Structure 1
């Protein structure tokens, strides 16, 4: 390819390059000469290399070469020769040799498919005790990989005392070293070893580090404590050695990440009911107050995690009562109005758990929760709809709750949820179950008949025909069967009479008495409209009605033969 220069320019550049190379060679030679003379002066105290050092360097080179050759063949990785070489390298005071051994273990940790022989753990311990942080980081990462793949025995690691140097890495100030240390502790926490005393000795430094004034150290220590709560065994030890007060205090940390880690750890602990007494042992409802404060956090993940922790704790009735005493509705109602769907969902999930406890219901109703739910149903997500249905069903068990439902937007919100294109059949099942529950009360039945629209009627008719989903079909058809057959309602239903005849026929042909009875009730209600009566006359549905009638009469006649009947234990 042409250079783009003319012949003269090219010649001048070539000459310059030749001259530059010559100058560089001369300068290099001059540097060599100067440093050769300097090295002979006693000022620098550099003695000529002895034969011992030459042999040591040669041996080092041979060991490095042998290790590289060993790494190419997995069958020779763990032989006696490599063990001896690793032991020499790990016990050396030369950090270069220690690094070589640590790198060998790192290579092994990536490629080893079998178990690492116990004898190969001795050099690991020596490398963990190295004074060089890079060596410690490399070997601790190797240990993480080996533990994660179950290539080493966790119990052996603990018994050899490796937990101590691993935990000391927390104080190194190096983020990578602290991360490796945390990962090792987390993996060791799943050990089934009965050496609890050793594990306690390992956890105590973590608790001390969690109280550190150094943000990064505190964050890493809390992260490790969080992962320890993922094992039942280590969680129990944590609770026994006093980790709960430390974690509760960390909820008030100025570091949002520490708040999140400690809150998640407490949530894991709260999942085991036997730990609840210790969780509540701090006086003045300190834990619950701290969590309620965190509910209002500006950091979304902390707010939602605090709600989740309170929800887990609320399975305990005593804790529910304490939450109500602390006026927990104020921050939760504020979250229901938040623009973030995640925050709204976390709040309504906790409120759903509270509404399941009947003694809370009058307070929830009087505090206007149903009004909030009615408005919230118009910001539909599956989680919000599902828990809203549960709350409405729980709270309308009293006359005060029924009136609050009628005064709110709950019914229109539920009907609107039926039309949402994003609502699944599973969510529709919750909606129809709630609506069906509401129409069992006469005032609410009238409210529904006045509120429902043609689109919502069409949706209920379509769902009634989903025979492959029996409960959804039943709920939808049951709602239709209760609608007051006014002229306005008849106008909404007339376009669907043919479809309704089809699913009612299926109901009557089923052996399920409940479906047959629903079919009969629906026909009875629809016959109030002359248009439906005309379609029914001479139809297959009418013929099936006579069959069911005949079967019922025959059953009644046979039952009369058994006289007298004993009173039913269910309905005397």
Structure 2
């Protein structure tokens, strides 16, 4: 069902005008109006079920309510606001045994859902109880569709829908024999499941099995909304466990083969969310002897970019296991993965660098040619995405994973190394990204070939940047990693000359490190001071600064601590002997 076309809108307007002059024929005219509306394709309704031979007698209060309702409809099509009279009339119509009156109420809700630009008052949810549970198929169709519209347009609070008890009738409609009703009710659940509290309520109310059943529907619209609802439910750890227990994994895995890209995406994203918990990996990988991995690798080359990127992310979660990484390498995933780094879609590039980073945790399984090729593709991506934090973080981690001695020559010759330095110098890069870049450089600088390269550059801008970032103690991890780079470069006093221009700043951050509560900061400060003290000028400056006094205090505290430890150990040994 969709919006009313101009023909139907005119019929409805004529109907309202006609009723004003012939109020005694309200019910008969409603029937005629609904027949005319149902004949138009804009409502996309199916043939209504055969009417019962018995028609409930129209009560006097229902006649009055119908008249008031119709009067409001005429005004409401223009400027009349919602009021108590309208609500009272809708309640009477919705809870009536007369299908035509229910029809009128459902149609009006559908009209409101397509034209309202404000919140639907909470009290207007009460008639939905009767409309959703109506025995009339078209009433079910229109009322479920209007509820979807209200939810999608943000005119209705999602938690409130569940709180007033509408979840149960919506779940009951999942088992309807009509595909339009199934489609609408699945869409309702999909939208409601955006809320964390609603996800739990849906699981408790038994909504999982009906959704899994509809995920296998022959109607692609129903399938799409059912799997979309499952995707939103997989954002709950508890619901993920229920889904796995109820047999969702084989269903979602088979749906990866769907001809519908939306269904592929939803099922792939659902599996990715489930795979975020390693406890489910064994069950996922047991399906068809690795069938899931093969399907995901196949979907990486999908022409639908969101499917391709989601396949990478799902594989990334599964590849936390070394066994899975080895299997993926054996089925030759790397050429395809590297090609995705050059995709013209940002999401695909980000997803592929994320997976590449995870795959690089097993560099020993890759030959030298592959590692060199990885760095070449990585360099191109880093040049393209110089300010993208996702790329910088995962590229840095990937290079750090490859930082074994045998790879140093290739790394320093690649553009990747230059890109790391450029990233560190870029003031617009985010703190987290800079932290990973600095961590990678600190790891690389442990190797002589990298350290010598950095020292021989005598890059004043780089040294100035390192000292500045080391002093940004409000960003603790970034400060620590950058200071680690300086410590590595201070090896054998080779960088001391370049640091002399920043002696006060260096002393300032080293003093802060000495006073830091964490031992790793104190240790880093002391080892850096030891290296810098090999330079006579630095040694003199340190001896005349507060650093000297602070070092002495630490020495005394250490000696006292060691004395206490000796006493404690001695007493413990004595107690053990006595026992």
Shift of 1:221: 5.3
1:162 aligns to 2:173 (yes or no): yes
1:332 aligns to 2:332 (yes or no): no
What corresponds to 1:40 in structure 2? none
**Could you say if the C-alpha distance between residues 507 and 540 of structure 1 is closer, same or farther in structure 2, counting changes exceeding 3 Å?**
farther
Equivalent residues of 2:132, 2:169 under 8 A apart? no
What corresponds to 1:297 in structure 2? 302
Shift of 1:437: 2.4
Shift of 1:66: 2.5
Shift of 1:419: 0.8
Q: What is the rounded CA distance, in whole Å, between the counterparts of 2:283 and 2:260 in structure 1?
A: 25
Picking from 461, 468, 473, the partner of 1:462 is 468
Equivalent residues of 1:432, 1:475 under 8 A apart? yes
The normalised TM-score by structure 1 is: 0.70
**Could you say if the C-alpha distance between residues 361 and 77 of structure 1 is closer, same or farther in structure 2, counting changes exceeding 3 Å?**
same
**Could you say if the C-alpha distance between residues 354 and 170 of structure 1 is closer, same or farther in structure 2, counting changes exceeding 3 Å?**
farther
What corresponds to 1:349 in structure 2? 354
Classify the secondary structure of the residue corresponding to 1:440. Answer: coil
What corresponds to 2:44 in structure 1? none
Q: How do residues 62-211 of structure 1 correspond to structure 2 at under 5 angstroms?
A: 62-67=64-69, 83-88=91-96, 90-92=98-100, 97-105=101-109, 111-114=120-123, 116=125, 121-126=129-134, 129-130=137-138, 137-138=145-146, 141=149, 148=158, 149-150=160-161, 152-154=164-166, 156-157=168-169, 161-165=172-176, 168-169=179-180, 178=183, 180-186=184-190, 190=199, 191-192=201-202, 196=206, 200-201=209-210, 203-209=212-218
Gaps of 5+ in 2: 1-21, 31-59, 74-80, 114-118, 194-198, 571-579
Which string of whole-angstrom CA distances, capped at 9 and with x for unpartnered residues, describes residues 134-186 of structure 1?
67745775798778332641454168x43334852168xxxxxx4x3432243
Which string of whole-angstrom CA distances, capped at 9 and with x for unpartnered residues, describes residues 100-132 of structure 1?
221454589863324855x86334332751389
Equivalent residues of 1:251, 1:290 under 8 A apart? yes
Q: What is the rounded CA distance, in whole Å, between the counterparts of 1:218 and 1:446 in structure 2?
A: 61
**Could you say if the C-alpha distance between residues 550 and 102 of structure 1 is closer, same or farther in structure 2, counting changes exceeding 3 Å?**
closer
Q: How do residues 375-414 of structure 1 correspond to structure 2 at under 5 angstroms?
A: 376-378=381-383, 379-380=385-386, 381-396=388-403, 398-402=404-408, 404-414=410-420
**Could you say if the C-alpha distance between residues 167 and 410 of structure 1 is closer, same or farther in structure 2, counting changes exceeding 3 Å?**
same
Shift of 1:386: 1.4
**Could you say if the C-alpha distance between residues 475 and 555 of structure 1 is closer, same or farther in structure 2, counting changes exceeding 3 Å?**
same
**Could you say if the C-alpha distance between residues 272 and 441 of structure 1 is closer, same or farther in structure 2, counting changes exceeding 3 Å?**
closer
The normalised TM-score by structure 2 is: 0.69
Q: What is the rounded CA distance, in whole Å, between the counterparts of 1:557 and 1:201 in structure 2?
A: 69
**Could you say if the C-alpha distance between residues 491 and 299 of structure 1 is closer, same or farther in structure 2, counting changes exceeding 3 Å?**
farther
**Could you say if the C-alpha distance between residues 400 and 86 of structure 1 is closer, same or farther in structure 2, counting changes exceeding 3 Å?**
same
**Could you say if the C-alpha distance between residues 342 and 491 of structure 1 is closer, same or farther in structure 2, counting changes exceeding 3 Å?**
farther
What corresponds to 2:55 in structure 1? none
Classify the secondary structure of the residue corresponding to 1:477. Answer: helix
Classify the secondary structure of the residue corresponding to 1:304. Answer: helix
Equivalent residues of 1:295, 1:304 under 8 A apart? yes
What corresponds to 2:253 in structure 1? 248
Q: How do residues 193-272 of structure 1 correspond to structure 2 at under 5 angstroms?
A: 196=206, 200-201=209-210, 203-209=212-218, 212=219, 219-220=224-225, 222-227=227-232, 229-230=234-235, 239=244, 242-272=247-277
**Could you say if the C-alpha distance between residues 227 and 469 of structure 1 is closer, same or farther in structure 2, counting changes exceeding 3 Å?**
closer
Shift of 1:82: 5.7
Equivalent residues of 1:228, 1:234 under 8 A apart? yes
Equivalent residues of 2:174, 2:186 under 8 A apart? no
Q: What is the rounded CA distance, in whole Å, between the counterparts of 2:345 and 2:91 in structure 1?
A: 58
Q: What is the rounded CA distance, in whole Å, between the counterparts of 1:243 and 1:511 in structure 2?
A: 49
Q: What is the rounded CA distance, in whole Å, between the counterparts of 1:139 and 1:390 in structure 2?
A: 47
**Could you say if the C-alpha distance between residues 417 and 223 of structure 1 is closer, same or farther in structure 2, counting changes exceeding 3 Å?**
same
Shift of 1:469: 3.1
**Could you say if the C-alpha distance between residues 143 and 123 of structure 1 is closer, same or farther in structure 2, counting changes exceeding 3 Å?**
farther
Equivalent residues of 2:439, 2:481 under 8 A apart? yes
Shift of 1:306: 1.0
**Could you say if the C-alpha distance between residues 107 and 430 of structure 1 is closer, same or farther in structure 2, counting changes exceeding 3 Å?**
same
| RMSD of Structure 2 on Structure 1 (CA) | 4.6
Q: How do residues 51-66 of structure 1 correspond to structure 2 at under 5 angstroms?
A: 62-66=64-68
What corresponds to 1:552 in structure 2? 555
Classify the secondary structure of the residue corresponding to 1:164. Answer: coil
Classify the secondary structure of the residue corresponding to 1:126. Answer: coil
Equivalent residues of 2:144, 2:185 under 8 A apart? no
Which string of whole-angstrom CA distances, capped at 9 and with x for unpartnered residues, describes residues 324-362 of structure 1?
332222221222244544333211211222344xxx221
Equivalent residues of 1:395, 1:401 under 8 A apart? yes
Which string of whole-angstrom CA distances, capped at 9 and with x for unpartnered residues, describes residues 548-568 of structure 1?
34763686599579979969x
Q: What is the rounded CA distance, in whole Å, between the counterparts of 1:327 and 1:225 in structure 2?
A: 31
**Equivalences, count:** 493
Gaps of 5+ in 1: 1-49, 172-177, 568-572
**Could you say if the C-alpha distance between residues 470 and 365 of structure 1 is closer, same or farther in structure 2, counting changes exceeding 3 Å?**
farther
Equivalent residues of 2:215, 2:224 under 8 A apart? no
Q: What is the rounded CA distance, in whole Å, between the counterparts of 1:486 and 1:140 in structure 2?
A: 70
Q: What is the rounded CA distance, in whole Å, between the counterparts of 1:514 and 1:140 in structure 2?
A: 56
Equivalent residues of 2:167, 2:202 under 8 A apart? yes
**Could you say if the C-alpha distance between residues 249 and 463 of structure 1 is closer, same or farther in structure 2, counting changes exceeding 3 Å?**
same
Shift of 1:400: 3.0
Which string of whole-angstrom CA distances, capped at 9 and with x for unpartnered residues, describes residues 510-545 of structure 1?
6766555544544554455565567x28x742x642
Classify the secondary structure of the residue corresponding to 2:217. Answer: helix
